[in-house]
Chains A and B, each alone.
Chain A
Amino acid sequence: MTAGTEIFAYAPKRPNILVRFLNSSFVAILVVAAAIVAIWYVGAVALNATAQNFADERAGVTRDWPDFVKATWSQDKPRLPAPHQVAEEVYNTTFLVPPTAKRSLVYHGWITLSSTLVGFVIGTLLGIGLAILIVHVPSLDRSLMPWIVSSQTIPILAIAPMVIVVLAAVGVVGLLPKAVISTYLSFFPVTVGMVKGLRSPEPMHLDLMRTYNASRWQTFWKLRWPSALPFLFVSMKVAVAAALVGAIVGEMPTGAVAGLGARLLTGSYYGQTIQIWAALFAAALMAAVLVGIVGLVGRLVFRHMGARPA
């Protein structure tokens, strides 16, 4: 035996593919998600049992327990609908209904999505602009920054009804009032993140730009902006989620007739729990997709800038 193979023998054994697969986070996520669904089914039985007993007593039906469990999972207006009921409702209102119908989730989702996107774009641009100002004008840093922070202590979601009523009084109706709320929610993370990002170049790099006799604009465009981009995409992920919440809440309290928020509200008025959960799932899906898209765009931009995939 040579010395080389001896050393090789000390290297840790690579586990086989099955073990590696079972240890991967994909499996872990799947197991946790399955556990959540299982808990949900049990919870549905527990929460709907009282109503089911009551209904059975009135109808004079006696059930054995598998039948009883099945019944609690298929109530018309359950306290907690079972996952498959929600999935069915989402499927029915997405694919079996034309997208222009009032019952279609696509229709309501699109209305929410459009104001989310408008608010998100305006908010992001506003946030970037404010951050550039704050970084370049020293007096604004001291006077404006504390007010940007404290502007977020005003619970805009809580005053969404007032914003919408007031804007309606001026004649602004439809998409824009909701977009205003989304803007207000999404500009803040972008401002804070971009201020941090535009300040992230090291003093040495800034000094280098000075030795090149670079103008303010050149320093900004060639040094500050590229080094702020990672911060921008992280805060844009937060901002797009916040914009969606803003749009949904903007639809809730004003008697809006369309949008996911309006679906939630009408569902709660008429006790249509399945409808509420379906709208919630649509919103959750939309949030996940939006955040995913922002992340993807970020990845593409970084690759274009020459970052190596981690």
Chain B
Amino acid sequence: MSRPSWQALLALVAVVAAVALPLADGRSTIFLVDDGLAGFLVVWTVGLAAIFAVWPAGREASIEALFIGAHAGAAYIYLFLPRFAAAAPAWTFGQRPADGSGPVGFGTFLADTAGFWGLFLAVWLLAWLLVTRLSLLRAGGRLGSLLLRILVPALFGIWLLFLWEVVTRALGVPPVLLPPPSAIGARIAASLPTLWADFRQTFLKAVIAGFAIGSGAGFLFALLVDRIPFLKRGLLPIGNLVSALPIIGIAPIMVMWFGFDWPSKAAVVAIMTFFPMLVNTLAGLDAADRIQRDLMRTYAASHGQTLFKLRLPAALPFIFNGLKINTTLALIGAIVAEFFGTPIVGMGFRISTEVGRMSIDMVWAEIAVAALAGSVFYGVMALIERACTFWHPSFRT
């Protein structure tokens, strides 16, 4: 007999608290049970999901109930937020409470809105339980396990955004500190042309050009160094050292040399991506087994034949490792280089000027674009790697 799930028990207590205590008791008072059909439904779906989830606490237990309960509760909380803001007692984030008529203290604020936080806690516990049980689930079939692999982190992310949204809006965190995700989304939708222009300037011009030049040069240089053992012994330690250095510091120098526009950023990116590629390719060229190389010798293969038929294919995992490291380095290099002077377009320029104007939601919009671009860039590299190194043990499951 398995133990009862403590999250579900706690969620049950929280639901009871949400029903018994007022959702908000400041400028006006709202109880969950006063809220008509919606409140009624929420109490029952969340409550029943918690009850079903208590026992048995094993895997694949009551996942459907948890899914419905958690998301119904989340939807209710999200739709309730505007009314919460109107009804909750006045409390100003980060300010000391004044006496009497002024904003109440944080403790009072929490006590007067205990029902809301109870419901929030219950919904969050159910979501936690849902993710836990989903991650224990073993799906049959390839499609099922793929879906599960996407679903679990996706749910986790959505719930993280939900937490962010509710906490920033319910506590009234000033947008200068941390805007809620919905405001960032609205900002992205409203300023698509600006974001696209910045993306084109920084990513499509500087990052792609610099990445291609830096990685290509690193690769070719590695092939050259590989032929000359003396260079290899001398250059590899230096290359390793340089890849640990704060190369980003050369950005001001590159801006002086190549001007304000994208070539200077591409130069920074090229230098930043050169050494990881060099080091990784050199390590990869040594990856072929001695016995395999001996076999090539018994075939009387030339250096070029050994290179193309044995050593380069064996080096591919290392080369792609370098390329994947370089995708993030390239984006960072291009953005930071823009802090040192740029035409009036570009992601780094936008970030630094919008910070100065205190419009943090625009900064977050740029960050979202950068994160998306970085993830897609990385993902494309990973896909190409899969296509090229399908033979590697790590992909043969």
B173 to chain A, nearest CB (A): 10
B156 touches A283 (CB 8 A): no
For the complex, is A159 an interface residue (Cβ under 8 Å from B)? yes
The answer for the CA separation of A267 and B250 in the assembled complex, in Å, is 12
**Does the CB pair A32–B234 fall under 8 Å?**
yes
> A29-B238, A248-B248, A268-B252 are contacts. A157–B332 as well, Cβ < 8 Å?
yes
In the assembled complex, how far is the CB of residue A146 from the closest CB belonging to chain B, in whole angstroms?
Answer: 4
Contact B351 A159 (CB under 8 A): yes
Whether A287 touches B246, Cβ cut-off 8 Å, given contacts A155-B332, A158-B370, is yes
Cβ contacts under 8 Å, B332 to chain A: 155, 157-158
With A152-B328, A155-B332 as known contacts, state yes or no: A29 contacts B233, CB within 8 Å.
Answer: yes
Contact with B along A230-243 (1 / 0, CB 8 A): 00000001100100
Chain B: minimal CB distance from A169 (Å):
6
Taken together as a complex, chains A and B put the C-alpha atoms of A154 and B368 apart, in Å, by: 8
Q: Take A157-B336, A166-B177, A284-B246 as given contacts and tell me if A143 and B153 are in contact as well, using a CB distance cutoff of 8 Å.
A: yes
Hey, which chain B residues are within 8 Å of A224, CB to CB?
none
Partner of B152 from the list A36, A143, A261 (CB cut-off 8 Å) is A143
Tell me if B48 is interfacial: C-beta within 8 Å of chain A: no
A295 CA to B66 CA, complexed, in Å? 49
Check if A211 is an interface residue, CB within 8 A of chain B. no
A279 interface hit (Cβ, 8 Å): yes
Which B residues between 138 and 180 are near A, CB-CB below 8 angstroms? 152-153, 155-157, 160, 176-178
A89→B363 CA distance, assembly (Å): 38
Question: Judging by beta carbons under 8 Å apart, are B244 and A237 in contact?
Answer: yes
Complex formed: what's the CA distance from A237 to B244 in Å? Answer: 9
B135 near A252 with CB under 8 A, answer no
- Is the beta-carbon distance between A28 and B234 smaller than 8 angstroms? yes
Tell yes or no: B118 within 8 A of A by CB. no
Task: Specify which chain A residues have a CB less than 8 angstroms from the CB of B250 in the assembled complex.
Answer: 280
* CB of B360 closer than 8 Å to a CB of A: yes
Among the stretches B9-17, B183-191, B253-261, B291-299, the one at the interface with A is: B253-261
Are A147 and B230 CB-contacts (below 8 A) given A158-B347, A273-B253, A284-B245? no
Inside 8 A of A170's CB, which chain B residues have their CB? 94, 177
The answer to whether B252 touches A264, judged by C-beta atoms less than 8 angstroms apart, is yes
* CB pair A248 B249 closer than 8 Å: yes
Tally chain B residues at the interface, Cβ within 8 Å. 55
Tell whether A265 is near chain B: CB-to-CB under 8 Å.
yes
Q: How far is the CB of A99 from chain B (nearest CB, A)?
A: 22
A271 contact set on B, CB distance < 8 A: 256
**Chain A interface main SS type:** helix
Cα of A151 to Cα of B238 in the assembled complex, Å: 30
Interface of B is mostly: helix
Q: Count residues of A near B (Cβ-Cβ below 8 Å).
A: 59
B335 at the interface (CB under 8 A from A): yes
Interface pair B246/A169, CB less than 8 Å apart: no
B193 within 8 A of A: no
Contacts of A288 in B (CB 8 A): 241, 244-245
Q: Output the least CB separation between B391 and chain A (Å).
A: 23
Between B177, B178, B245, B371, the greatest number of chain A beta carbons within 10 A of the residue's beta carbon is seen for B245
- Beta-carbon contacts of A246-267 to B below 8 Å, as 1s and 0s? 0011001100000011001101
Q: Which residues of A contact B331 (CB under 8 A)?
A: 155, 158
Shortest Cβ distance from B202 into chain A, in angstroms?
10
Indicate the member of B234, B248, B339, B347 with the most A CB atoms within 10 Å. B234
User: Is the pair B233, A25 in contact by a Cβ cutoff of 8 Å?
Assistant: yes
The reply to whether A143 and B135 contact each other, CB–CB distance below 8 Å, is yes
Whether, in the assembled complex, A45 has its beta carbon less than 8 Å from a beta carbon of chain B, the answer is no
Closest chain-B Cβ to A52's Cβ sits at a distance in Å of 16
Alpha-carbon separation in the docked complex, A249 to B238 (Å): 23
Q: B330-352 vs A: 1/0 string, CB under 8 Å?
A: 01100110011100000110011
A32-B234, A153-B375, A162-B355 known; A283+B249 contact, CB < 8 A: yes
Does the CB pair A150–B375 fall under 8 Å? yes
Cβ-closest 8 pairs across A and B: A268-B252, A28-B234, A32-B234, A158-B335, A142-B135, A28-B233, A146-B153, A139-B132
28 A-B Cβ contacts within 8 A? A28-B231, A31-B230, A32-B238, A33-B238, A79-B257, A138-B136, A142-B153, A143-B152, A143-B153, A144-B156, A146-B156, A154-B367, A154-B370, A155-B370, A158-B336, A158-B347, A159-B367, A162-B355, A166-B178, A169-B176, A170-B177, A241-B245, A241-B246, A249-B336, A273-B253, A276-B253, A284-B245, A288-B244
Interface residues of A (CB under 8 A from B): 25, 27-33, 36, 47, 79, 138-139, 141-144, 146-147, 150, 152-155, 157-159, 161-162, 165-166, 169-170, 237-238, 241, 244-245, 248-249, 252-253, 260-261, 264-265, 267-268, 271, 273, 276-277, 279-280, 283-284, 287-288, 291
